[in-house]
Structure 1
């Protein structure tokens, strides 16, 4: 099992190095070491549709390879950590007339309760539409010289706005979830969320540093700094909000109100929207001109290729976790 974990780690490193090298050579920032003006190309990929499609789609697909490898590492590690432990089995005893033991494992139909979610769902869909519109405007304007700065500003303003709204929603959510009952959770700390969140924190920290120290910035330095700070604050508050919600459950007294469920729904939709847009952010090299100018093209490409896949995975994983909390925390459990 440790060999499988090591294989997944090697797959992550290989993918990062490969995609970084492709981006560097594509930009022409690295001279070819041979005494030749022509770089040899792989002709088989250029002569057929499959090769050309594969080459152009790899920039969208490589984050999913990293996501799969990280999930594989986490699952295999959990299996490895439980090897050798003696499980406790529940032995069914009793007369056959009292019931069939097969009935204990029979799945009963369960219908999702969508109550107390409409406002959060509506606001989340608005955020999704806003992010998609900003993404479309960016790709439509970035290739036009006189509108390039406008495209970058639209992208950063929308990111700052979404992060700010999520921070306000979570502050309101903390106030609401105080009404839920506290329960003891047997779950360990979510190491996957912490590791992937570090990617967003590192990326945002480099953004803030570039905004503070860059003397010749193309976009307003205050916007770059605020965007990075908001992102760091939002990620940390979201980790705390999820950790707190894991320890709470709805009670009989507030089963109709379901406090905090609107916030959970909104965060779920926002993380899903950011996951979609982050997959396109991988190829938005022109969206960070100040950072690229401050650090240099080569270092900034390496920073992006390491941190952005973790950003993508964090949003995906957060969406899954929030979905489980949305279902389980607000379902009244029957006490036998």
Structure 2
């Protein structure tokens, strides 16, 4: 008789992944609500806000739970094969972004921690841009085996993507110029590196979206393996996170002290009001385009059967 025996436990998770992902998303919302509650409840001026957001989150969860109970008898099918790793990694990165945003809004109001708030925000942004750029390169090489339709012309989504990227390029170029000519402030080099990383990441992502939007699976083996879908899923969630950062953090003047010091308050306000809406739209539209790639690229067309 062997002294040690290996035990195998199997859990049937079929038809459970969508509920699991949605439950994890709601759990993340609850964790953020708890963090905000414990941060703000100790401050008299924010005590009512802490209680209010806690009640709103509770009401939202109760409503979602009630809706889930009502539609439980209806079945909707979404093919999520070859996407779970990218989704989990993207959710992990989204949690990092949310924590960074919370720290930013907590520290930016205190003069002694203002530089720390900007520093951690730039570090998190740089990390996300680098990870996203690497994911774009990996996804680009993975989808190359799919059939490329040269006859497919430029569509409206592609034009909107390029127009929106022009706003992001304007923002990053002005950031690079401002950081290049100011060296006496803190985080100047980090702002310069961050702007370059953002520019490179957006270009790689746009090239990938323009290329992948014209590709289709042509064999049953490609439909089964779904090359690049993990990376597409990851990029989709990442762009949603970057959209949140651009919407809540980048547009604030306090998050760009280097640029504001170089251009002045009113000049930088004009620059951000022109470029930031396009930057926000670029992240949102990239998410939509990636969703279309995720949904349609890996469905085999009848002409290849």
| Structure 2 counterpart of 1:143, from 109, 117, 129 | 109
2:173 aligns with 205
Shift of 1:183: 2.3
Deviation at 1:110, TM superposition (A): 7.8
Query: What's the TM-score once normalised by structure 1's chain length?
Result: 0.65
Match of 1:331 among 295, 299, 304: 299
Unaligned runs of 5+ in 1: 1-108
Who is 2:81 aligned against? 115
Task: Tell me whether 1:229 sits opposite 2:229 in the alignment.
Answer: no
Alignment of 1:301-312 (within 5 A): 301-312=269-280
Structure-2 residue corresponding to 1:49:
none
Please state if 1:133 is matched with 2:99.
Answer: yes
Distance 1:185 1:315, change over 3 A: farther
Please tell me whether Structure 1 or Structure 2 has the larger radius of gyration of its CA atoms.
1
The residue that corresponds to 2:6 in the other structure is: none
Match of 2:121 among 139, 155, 170: 155
> Contact 2:165–2:278 (CA<8 Å) still a contact in 1?
yes
Report the equivalent of 2:38.
none
Q: Secondary structure at the match of 1:256?
A: helix
Question: Any stretches of 5+ residues in structure 2 without a counterpart?
Answer: 1-74
Considering fraction of residues, name the structure with more helix: 2
In 1: Cα distance, 2:79 partner to 2:153 partner:
24
Aligned 8 A contact 1:264 1:326 in 2: yes
Deviations 1:35-88 (A, max 9, x none): xxxxxxxxxxxxxxxxxxxxxxxxxxxxxxxxxxxxxxxxxxxxxxxxxxxxxx
Paired residue for 2:137, among 155, 171, 176? 171
SS of 1:188's equivalent?
A: coil
Alignment length (residue pairs): 227
- Quote the Cα distance in structure 1 between the aligned partners of 2:84 and 2:221: 21
CA contact (8 A) 2:152 2:214 kept: no
Q: Show CA shifts across 1:156-190 (max 9, x none).
A: 11111101001000111111112212224534252
**8 Å Cα contact 1:218/1:289 also seen in 2:** no
Query: What residue is the counterpart of 2:209 in the other structure?
Result: 242
Q: Which runs of 4+ in 1 moved over 3 A?
A: none
1:141 touches 1:147 (CA, 8 Å); kept in 2? yes
- The 8 Å contact of residues 185 and 246 in structure 1, kept in 2 or not, is answered as no
- 1:226-254 deviations in Å (ceiling 9; x for gaps): 10001101111111101110121122232
Q: What is the DSSP-based 3-state SS (H/G/I as helix, E as strand, rest coil) of the residue aligned with 1:244? A: helix
- State the distance in 1 between where 2:76 and 2:105 align: 43
